[in-house]
Structure 1
Amino acid sequence: MESIAQVADPTYLLTVAAMAIFALLILIIKLKVHAFVSLTLVSFATAVAAGISSEQVVPTMMSGFGGTLASVALLVGLGAMIGKTLEVTGGAQVLADTLIGRFGKEKAPLALGVASLLFGFPIFFDAGLIVMMPIILSVAHKFGGSPLKYALPSAGAFAVMHAFVPPHPGPVAAADLLGANIGMLLFVGMMVAIPTWYVGAYLFGLYAGKKFDIPLSKVFFNANGVIDPAKLPKFSTVMMILVLPVLLIFMDTGLNTLAVAGMIDGSSPLVETLRMLGKTPVALLITLLVCLVVFAKDYGMKHLEKLCGDSLAPICAVILVTGAGGMFGGVLRASGIGEALANALSDTGMPLIVAAFVIATCLRVAQGSATVALTTTAALIAPMVAATTGLTDLDLCFIVIAIAGGSTVLSHFNDSGFWLVGRLMEMDEKTTLKTWTVMETLLGSIAFIIVAVLTLIL
């Protein structure tokens, strides 16, 4: 969203943003005002203070809220139905037991993380996390202790794949803007993502699991649910249901990557149809229909219909609070805070790879959206890249990863992902800041350090 604010002084806008975040901290953590109310109130106050015209204040808020709901509500709703069906039919338990049997109790977090790295290659962060959540919670229920020990390695795996590795839209768009080779970026992104995940998500997840003992979330999982052992599905059936959306989504992301690379005609009717079927909401809808067909014989459609209805009640708060987080981020984008910061930073004379990371970080902190931070930074520094001689294909890939690292760090109140993870795990805001925000910052920083060192060596 372009800036529609009347005030353009960067110092003033930065002060407004800092006061807005401080106000949210006080309202939510200190005064215990519900996050949905707090975000709506602060979004309104920020829009007014930032100089957005009075007739645009409410439309700007609604646009940010509605835009986030459009992407989140369908995914969370369909994902909740799939998750509830897998939980009650015992599918989640079967997969959890199989993972545990093959990897053992001590390696369960590693097994979940590696599975999420594989699933995360084509599937987007939020969709992947929602599909994996019943399995994560089933494993946590079986072994006890903090669910964070199992959830953070998995969530971190989806986060690094989404940020650093094509065919995800952020790195593909940045590579296109900077002229980086997609194939090489795929290789470099994987080489950076794996050690980054191991240190920043897996090892940190084990530490956070010991430090923060939170109760088991009931959003996707009810430990008191009765599972009929005579009707437990086969492991292969559960895997088929989990892999189906991955394969479908790969049709979209994979074909898009090939089209950007010029290897196929992206405008052909066949490619467009396949990409439509691979869009995340459509892929999850197809998966849910397959899920219902598979389990209808043993449970009946009437029972499955009730399960789908029951699954929606707990996620209302998740959707509304996530939408409110998107509203706050949308107001900050419309105020021009991120744009003003980026323009000021682009003339500082920093080394190119450092400037890429710093600008992306500032945009991320200012407006919340990692994708906006990534693509905007790439567009801003594209002229600087074009004017710099001697840059190799590897250097361009390192710059893309540096931008992706900056767009990952410091996820907080204006990031809808912060609220999605916090609400799915039923964590309070303080715990979310100490776990999810710290993990995201570790992931982005470690990736930047790796490519910065490689730039000096290679």
Structure 2
Amino acid sequence: MDLQLLLALVLGIATIIVLVLRTRLDAFVALLVAAVVTGAVAGQNAGDIVSSITTGFGNTLASIGIVIGLGVGIGKILEVSGAAGALAHAFLRLFGKGREPWAMASTGALVSIPVFCDSGYVIMNPLARSIARAEQRGYVTLALALGAGMAITHCLVPPTPGPLGVAGIIGADLGGLILAGLVFSVLLLPVAVMYAKWLGPKLESEVSQAVRTAVYGTTGGGGTARTTTIEGGPGTGDAGDDAGDDADTASELGTPPDGARPHRVGAFLASVPLLVPLLLIVANTVATAIDRNNQGALTGEGYVASDWAAALAFIGNPVIALVIGIALAVYLLLPRWTPRGRVHNWLADAAASAGLIILITGAGGALGQVLRSSGVGDALAEAIAAISLPGVLVPFLVSTLVRLAQGSGTVAMITAASVTAPLVGSLGLSPLVAALACCAGALVTSYFNDSYFWVVTRFTGLDGTAALRGWSGITTAVWVASLPLLLVADLVLG
């Protein structure tokens, strides 16, 4: 590989890591600066660099920006309406007594598809505490299973922003990525549950006294506690009090008129805004594949959709599907008496939280375009071919290294997608497998530079080596287990 182009790539990735870790600049600015550095070191002139940045940014957001905003909006309504809690209780009933860790992991996996991990964990953690209090044991097992379930789908299943951004940058079919991500998630959940069941009981004695008291009460179930407290963490009050949670939700939704029944969201109703958009997107993918096959046009060249396939393509377009989903969430999950202004404020909050993710995704697309136009992508593909490294490992390892360096799974996925996008054809990868590799690599060890690490460990009451053994260990186990799945996917889908 040409030394100048290799240096451009290395300096570009190093720029992202250094700016995020060592300066006050965020990932959005870091990605844009990295694009400038990469283009300049690779020998592009200033005008071409700017043109590549604006083109890549615009093309990426054209395909994925609206979808991210709508997906986050659905998650916000699930959060404030109590629908997330209803889904959790339904999973507990479904799995039955004695299988609570499976129920918590599955609940976390479902809730984390539209809801950010951090807020989703805060919403679901009181349920884990309620179960542990009733049993007087097993809180660490439940907390780890819940957190890992959320991390898995957060990294693998759209419409979570990271996988959405990867699909947009690489050009992977969104319906195909949803299906493949769900398959990966189902296969990885047992790894997370078994790890939690194995190590959780060993860590019960390591839970801080403040959290132990909040979970088990003054009797201190589950073993002898340490006296360490965690400032700013949970434990100030009864976080497992479902009645209190219901009261908080009711106050959020506004005051019902006289004679109105209390607002309750059933599990089926709670699942509708999630399942309908996902099913529509997948139906679009399947219908298009069937229609092309019937016409003998397996590629896009010369293909004209039949009327039925065109109709499904319209309502299964991610933008239309998620518009339907957010309308269902607002009108099915929120009571009629909820003030219009309050709903608008919730959706505005969701848009604000989505804004940075959208910008980061666009900046990732800008970096990818610079890598293409400067020739760095082609040079990297040639270098990899020369050392016979399996192509699927390239996005996987880039995502892994960036995640370890700076902590954010979303930034890791988008950076890996940006580097990989120009290489997909040269490496012999399908866009779907490349996208999966970017997402799976971001599952790697969560530790101190990851905000979600602090959410899980503080709520669980673990610190020091106990936190590393519990949370960093479970995420590492899931990451390791994803690699053979990825190699099989490359053989099947490549």
Displacement of 1:255: 1.3
Match of 1:85 among 74, 77, 81: 77
The residue number in structure 1 matching 2:309 is 271
Match of 1:334 among 346, 364, 373: 373
Q: Deviations over 1:63-90 (max 9, x none)?
A: 3333343344322322232222222222
User: What letter corresponds to residue 271 of structure 2 in structure 1?
Assistant: M
* SS of equivalent residue, structure 1 residue 231: coil
Aligned length, in residue pairs: 384
Cα distance in structure 2, aligned partners of 1:330 and 1:435: 36
The residue number in structure 1 matching 2:113 is 129
TM-score norm. by structure 1 comes to 0.64
Displacement of 1:157: 4.3
Cα distance in structure 1, aligned partners of 2:94 and 2:116: 18
Displacement of 1:378: 5.3
The residue number in structure 2 matching 1:40 is 32
**CA RMSD for the aligned pairs?**
5.2
Match of 2:322 among 277, 284, 302: 284
Asked if structure 2 preserves the Cα contact closer than 8 Å seen for 1:13 and 1:337, the reply is yes
The residue number in structure 2 matching 1:442 is 480
Match of 1:256 among 285, 288, 305: 288
Which deviates more, 322-331 or 227-236? 322-331
Cα distance in structure 2, aligned partners of 1:326 and 1:204: 36
The residue number in structure 2 matching 1:220 is none
Cα distance in structure 2, aligned partners of 1:99 and 1:61: 45
Q: Superposed, which structure 2 residues align to 1:185-196 within 5 Å?
A: 194-195=186-187
Match of 1:344 among 383, 401, 409: 383
Cα distance, 1:320–1:335 mapped onto 2, change above 3 Å: same
Q: Superposed, which structure 2 residues align to 1:360-371 within 5 Å?
A: 368-370=415-417
Which deviates more, 55-64 or 223-232? 223-232
Displacement of 1:283: 0.7
Indicate yes or no: 2:392 matched with 1:357.
yes
Displacement of 1:42: 2.5
* SS of equivalent residue, structure 2 residue 25: coil
Cα distance in structure 1, aligned partners of 2:146 and 2:372: 34
**Which sections of structure 2, spanning at least 5 residues, go unmatched?**
130-139, 159-165, 207-229, 235-244, 251-260, 297-302, 403-413, 456-467
Displacement of 1:439: 7.5
User: What letter corresponds to residue 226 of structure 1 in structure 2?
Assistant: D
Asked if structure 2 preserves the Cα contact closer than 8 Å seen for 1:378 and 1:403, the reply is no
Cα distance in structure 1, aligned partners of 2:305 and 2:273: 30
Q: Deviations over 1:374-426 (max 9, x none)?
A: 895456549xxxxxxxxxxxxxxxx99986765555449xxxxx9xxx78999
Q: Superposed, which structure 2 residues align to 1:220-239 within 5 Å?
A: 226-228=248-250, 230-239=262-271
The residue number in structure 1 matching 2:152 is 156
The residue number in structure 2 matching 1:388 is none
When Rg is computed on C-alpha atoms for both structures, the one with the higher figure is 2
Cα distance, 1:321–1:356 mapped onto 2, change above 3 Å: closer
Displacement of 1:275: 0.9
Cα distance, 1:87–1:450 mapped onto 2, change above 3 Å: closer
Asked if structure 2 preserves the Cα contact closer than 8 Å seen for 1:249 and 1:278, the reply is yes
Cα distance in structure 2, aligned partners of 1:53 and 1:332: 14
Asked if structure 2 preserves the Cα contact closer than 8 Å seen for 1:358 and 1:406, the reply is yes
User: What letter corresponds to residue 75 of structure 1 in structure 2?
Assistant: V
Cα distance, 1:276–1:438 mapped onto 2, change above 3 Å: farther
Cα distance in structure 2, aligned partners of 1:369 and 1:108: 36
Cα distance, 1:404–1:261 mapped onto 2, change above 3 Å: farther
Q: Superposed, which structure 2 residues align to 1:40-79 within 5 Å?
A: 40-79=32-71
**Which sections of structure 1, spanning at least 5 residues, go unmatched?**
1-8, 120-126, 163-167, 176-182, 217-222, 383-398, 413-417
Displacement of 1:308: 1.9
The residue number in structure 2 matching 1:395 is none
Cα distance, 1:79–1:363 mapped onto 2, change above 3 Å: closer
TM-score norm. by structure 2 comes to 0.60
The residue number in structure 2 matching 1:12 is 4
Asked if structure 2 preserves the Cα contact closer than 8 Å seen for 1:248 and 1:283, the reply is yes
Cα distance in structure 1, aligned partners of 2:478 and 2:369: 21
Cα distance in structure 2, aligned partners of 1:190 and 1:309: 29
Cα distance, 1:30–1:286 mapped onto 2, change above 3 Å: same
Cα distance in structure 2, aligned partners of 1:225 and 1:59: 53
Q: Deviations over 1:29-55 (max 9, x none)?
A: 134433333333232222211222211
* SS of equivalent residue, structure 2 residue 44: coil
Displacement of 1:299: 2.0
Which deviates more, 83-92 or 328-337? 328-337
* SS of equivalent residue, structure 1 residue 33: coil
Q: Superposed, which structure 2 residues align to 1:173-188 within 5 Å?
A: none
Asked if structure 2 preserves the Cα contact closer than 8 Å seen for 1:359 and 1:377, the reply is no
The residue number in structure 1 matching 2:123 is 138
Asked if structure 2 preserves the Cα contact closer than 8 Å seen for 1:88 and 1:226, the reply is no
